[in-house]
Amino acid sequence: MSSLINKVLFTRAGYGLTVLRIVVGIIFAAHGSQKLFGMFGGYGIAGTAQYMESLGLAPGHLMAILAGGTEFFAGLALIIGLLVRPAALGLIFLSLVAIFTVHISNGLFMANNGYEFALALLGGSIAVLIEGAGKLSADRAIAG
């Protein structure tokens, strides 16, 4: 296997990282399904696009697809443990954008629409980027 592919797939992490990866993946996939498909009380692409435009993230339609697609598909990648480092990198970028465009001016706490939840997801995504997928993952099975 090529050196680069092995670096992307390799993990020494154990079961704890597996649990963290799956939980963070479920949360991101659910949020992405709100943006893309209007599931779980979400607004779908059209409503998300309007919101993105109101934040100054234009074009809103493209931003809604990019944000929802990253959350949904990278979340699924985390759940099954396939290509988790590239998926985590996308989620890290997405979390930073959410923190600095939506939440930072509201302070830390969620009760005020603050950044604590996005920060927790950012931390989980960074852990996955650093440690890899963990014991129960497609990445580990492929890397050997």
User: Average model confidence (pLDDT) for the chain?
Assistant: 94
Q: Give the N- to C-terminal CA distance of the chain in Å, as an integer.
A: 10
Around Cβ 4, how many Cβ atoms within 10 Å? 8
- Asked whether the beta carbons of 51 and 15 are under 8 A apart, the reply is no
Nearest-angstrom CA–CA distance, 88 and 21: 9
Largest CA distance in the chain: 49
Number of domains in the chain: 1
For 134, the token pair is 């963990």
User: What pLDDT score does 47 carry?
Assistant: 97
Find the domain containing 65 and state its range: 3-143
pTM of this prediction? Answer: 0.92
Question: What are the tens digits of pLDDT across the range 67-116?
Answer: 999 999 999 999 999 999 999 999 999 999 999 999 999 999 999 999 99
Closest alpha carbon to 17 in 144, 141, 143, 126: 126
